[in-house]
Amino acid sequence: MKRKIIKQGHNTLTITLPNDWAKEHNVKAGGEIDVSPRDNGLFISTESVDNKRCTTIDISEMNIPTIWKYFMAVYREGYDEIKVIFKPGELYDYPYKYMISQAINSKDKLTSKRTPTETIQDITNRFIGLEIIEHHKNYCIIRDMTDISTKEFDASFRRVFLILLQMGEEIQESIQNNNSEPLQNINDMDINVDKFHDYCVRVLNKTGFKDAKKSHLMFLTLYFLEILGDEFKLVSQHICHDMAKQDLKNLLELAEMTMNQFKNYYESFYSFSKDKVVLMSNKDIELFSYVPEIYRKESGKKSKFTHMEFEIFNHFRTISLLINSLIEIRVEMEF
């Protein structure tokens, strides 16, 4: 609802409160209400508002993938303090085992078990701003130590882009040079994408987007960018572990087309124009038809492409579909 701003005196502006709301909350002349400034507006309440949101997670008898899901949920939702309950005698797998098992150098970490405190510390380190502030026999307290603002969202959102661009460039460089060495740390880069993705979602949930009507589009953009990072990681893992010492030249053309399309999208996100959308739409047609055309040409004869090359082709095709969806969302942001 809209309220008219009334000037009183030299430096004071006032608004009226809706009569029905005032009656419902027993607000009367001479009483007090609490007004809390936020990045995207003011929050008015009849009680003093404690902005700190608290929740509890009981990780007893949870496996590592389930614990990750719970931590990501409460972090993204914007909780400021998390009480984590555990059984002191329980032991857990290394928290990153299921994310980086194909690239990790230390085999000990894959087989050794972690105490609840060690596990919670490892997981907490993955989330921007969270710190363990209290340790107890069967629980610990985690708190957000940062002051979240929309300014930090902009920097973190661009960071997601920059890491993805670096991942794409290293994939392309590895294929060009027929050398998978630069891809050995791609899993760590993907974890950083996830880290900044979760932080951006957290900021959106706590403060909203500067254009409230576009918030859902930013959530969608972040979602697709995070999946795109997973696809980059899968391509890298196939090159490192399934095509080791093999010639990568058959991957080069599609890799270059795909990475150039993502670079075009990144540039258009921050400097939008109709001409750029037309260019990317034309390139998308080429990308979308590339793999089916290969299948058509290779049908009925012994293929020059290996099974794993076709697998990587399909990952590139998935990446192109994600980029196309991102372009559609960016166009919608203009309206």
Quote the pLDDT of residue 59.
97
Residue 296 lies in a domain: yes
CATH number of the domain encompassing residue 139: 3.30.1370
Regarding whether 322 and 180 lie in a shared domain, the answer is yes
Q: What is the C-alpha to C-alpha distance for residues 315 and 304, in angstroms, rounded to an integer?
A: 19
Query: Which letter does DSSP use for residue 240 in this model?
Result: I
Count the neighbouring beta carbons within 10 Å of the beta carbon of residue 61: 9
Regarding whether 226 and 323 lie in a shared domain, the answer is yes
CA atoms within 13 A on the CB side of 82: 27
Type and span of the H or E element at 12 = strand 12-14
Q: What is the C-alpha to C-alpha distance for residues 67 and 72, in angstroms, rounded to an integer?
A: 9
Distance of CA 236 to the CA centre of its chain: 19
Q: What is the C-alpha to C-alpha distance for residues 28 and 44, in angstroms, rounded to an integer?
A: 15
Regarding whether 63 and 184 lie in a shared domain, the answer is no
Regarding whether 67 and 39 lie in a shared domain, the answer is no
Residue 166 lies in a domain: yes
CA distances (Å), origin 234, targets 176, 194, 215, 221, 237: 18, 15, 29, 20, 5
Regarding whether 170 and 140 lie in a shared domain, the answer is no
Regarding whether 180 and 304 lie in a shared domain, the answer is yes
Regarding whether 323 and 200 lie in a shared domain, the answer is yes
**Domain end call among 104, 120, 144:** 144
Given its phi and psi angles, is residue 305 left (phi above 0), alpha (psi -120 to 50 degrees) or beta?
beta
Of 200, 196, 181, nearest in space to 240 by CA: 181
Residue 155 lies in a domain: yes
Q: Give the model confidence (pLDDT) of 163-174 as tens digits.
A: 999 999 999 999
Residue 214 lies in a domain: yes
Residues forming beta bridges with residue 139, ordered by sequence position: 85
CATH number of the domain encompassing residue 164: 1.20.58.220
**Domain end call among 144, 171, 193:** 144
Regarding whether 155 and 26 lie in a shared domain, the answer is no
Residue 88 lies in a domain: yes
Longest CA span, the chain: 88
**Domain end call among 94, 110, 144:** 144
Beta strands at 54-58 and 81-85: parallel, antiparallel or unpaired: parallel
Residue 126 lies in a domain: yes
Quote the pLDDT of residue 105.
47
Structure tokens at 126: 């993955």
**Cβ pair 325, 278 in contact under 8 A:** no
pTM above 0.75, yes or no: yes
Quote the pLDDT of residue 208.
82
Domain region containing 130: 54-144
Quote the pLDDT of residue 110.
61
Count the neighbouring beta carbons within 10 Å of the beta carbon of residue 176: 14
Residue 1 lies in a domain: no
pLDDT along the chain (335 residues), means of 10: 79 84 82 70 64 92 95 96 96 80 50 90 96 96 88 93 97 94 90 96 89 91 97 95 88 96 97 96 91 79 83 95 97 96
| Domain count along the chain | 3
Q: Give the model confidence (pLDDT) of 256-271 as tens digits.
A: 999 999 999 999 999 9
Regarding whether 285 and 228 lie in a shared domain, the answer is yes
Regarding whether 111 and 184 lie in a shared domain, the answer is no
Q: What is the C-alpha to C-alpha distance for residues 16 and 307, in angstroms, rounded to an integer?
A: 69
Q: What is the C-alpha to C-alpha distance for residues 267 and 161, in angstroms, rounded to an integer?
A: 10
Residue 158 lies in a domain: yes
Regarding whether 227 and 315 lie in a shared domain, the answer is yes
Give 148's contacts (C-beta < 8 A, 6+ positions apart): 129, 202, 203, 206, 207
Regarding whether 310 and 232 lie in a shared domain, the answer is yes
CA distances (Å), origin 76, targets 199, 206, 212: 7, 9, 18
Q: What is the C-alpha to C-alpha distance for residues 242 and 251, in angstroms, rounded to an integer?
A: 14
